[in-house]
Chains A and B, each alone.
Chain A
Amino acid sequence: MSHDHDHDHHHHHHPDPHDPAVRVEAIESLLVEAGLVDSARVDALIEKYEHDLGPLNGAQVVAKAWTDREYRTRLLADGTAAIAELGFGGAQGERMVVVENTDQVHNLVVCTLCSCYPWPVLGLPPSWYKSPEYRARAVREPNVVLSEFGTELDDHVEVRVWDSSAEVRYLVLPQQPPGTEDLNETDLVDLVSRDSMIGVRLAGAL
């Protein structure tokens, strides 16, 4: 382009054809015309992922594992099947591996290639999870990353970093916070944050 951009008017009257808002409208219209996409179904899927799926599902998995020893055993043996018991699964969450935090081991999940993430249990990924900084540093200096999230571990705790991929999605089973043994499963759900299931924070931590 040889002429100067006029920022006040450019977008109001003639948006750039490379503007992603224009591009996405264009591709959707082509797919709708070809009978391959139903816009109402697109609406429904956005709604589903924005409102129906979320960390609440993962939190229910964790709370059940805290209160039901047999479920915990099944969850660690076959995450996919145990999560499906609660009705969660589907696209992008088919193969789930659950890794357990203990007094000796703390687990941290990253996707170094892009942003593979267990959507059916954790919803859509937070923006920092997709950042190049997190993707690189979670592997290179996990303890520094953890401390930046306010997570300080004892020196003897081994940090294991799990690299999610298109094939395997990891979910961290955080440790149950001390002093919460008397809470029921429903109350325990509220202690399980998304971040604790990625492994950047502890359960019960803000």
Chain B
Amino acid sequence: MTHSAKTHRPLPAEGAAAPPRINGELVFDAPWQSRAFGVAAALAESGLISWADFQAALISQVGEADTSSADTGSPDGYWTCWLEALGSVTASAGVVADQDWAERSAVFANRPAGHDHSH
């Protein structure tokens, strides 16, 4: 039995040949998904929300999506639940009101085509 190294593991996360994903598969398939993750991680890091509370909200969102037959196994479905959990805990913490979030979303959705995201 031979065990050639690095047959099933991508290269380590160092050096020029480092792959973009350490797991060998894309864990985010759209930028907004990593954004949703990063914002939650930043809030948890600063203590504004707790991972435990976030976890509870995520369980709730995934449960609702499961019963409505949404595909929580896809990155899109899963991170959508994550995003709604983020909204739920920030609303509970009195940090972002649902209405403010909806209004800001509407403003962004109605920006003219070709607007530039970068500053």
* Chain A residues engaging chain B, CB cutoff 8 angstroms: 12-31, 34, 36-38, 41-43, 45-46, 49-56, 59, 91-92, 113-116, 123-128, 130-134, 166, 177-180, 183, 187, 190-191, 193-194, 204-206
One digit per residue, 1 when the CB lies within 8 angstroms of any chain A CB and 0 when it does not, for chain B 79-119 equals 11001001100100001100011101111111001000100
Assembly CA distance A63 to B86 (angstroms): 36
Q: A36-B48, A183-B3 are contacts. A50–B62 as well, Cβ < 8 Å? A: no
* Complex contacts, B59 vs chain A, CB 8 Å: 113-114
Which of B38, B73, B76, B87 is the one whose CB lies under 8 Å from A43? Answer: B38
Contact B22 A20 (CB under 8 A): no
Contact B109 A16 (CB under 8 A): yes
A selection of 8 A-B contacts at a CB cut-off of 8 Å is: A20-B80, A22-B108, A31-B39, A54-B13, A91-B44, A114-B63, A115-B62, A127-B78
Tell me the nearest residue of chain A to B24, going by C-beta: A194
* Complex contacts, B27 vs chain A, CB 8 Å: 50, 123-127
* Complex contacts, B45 vs chain A, CB 8 Å: 41, 45, 91
One digit per residue, 1 when the CB lies within 8 angstroms of any chain A CB and 0 when it does not, for chain B 5-18 equals 11111001100001
Which of B8, B38, B56, B101 is the one whose CB lies under 8 Å from A30? Answer: B101
Tell me the nearest residue of chain B to A193, going by C-beta: B8
* Complex contacts, B80 vs chain A, CB 8 Å: 20
Contact B42 A41 (CB under 8 A): yes
* Complex contacts, A16 vs chain B, CB 8 Å: 109
Assembly CA distance A180 to B2 (angstroms): 9
Assembly CA distance A27 to B104 (angstroms): 8
Query: Chain B's nearest CB lies how many Å from the CB of A183?
Result: 7
Q: A36-B95, A194-B23 are contacts. A14–B109 as well, Cβ < 8 Å? A: yes
Give the contacts of B30-51 with A (CB-CB under 8 A): 30-39, 41-46, 48, 51
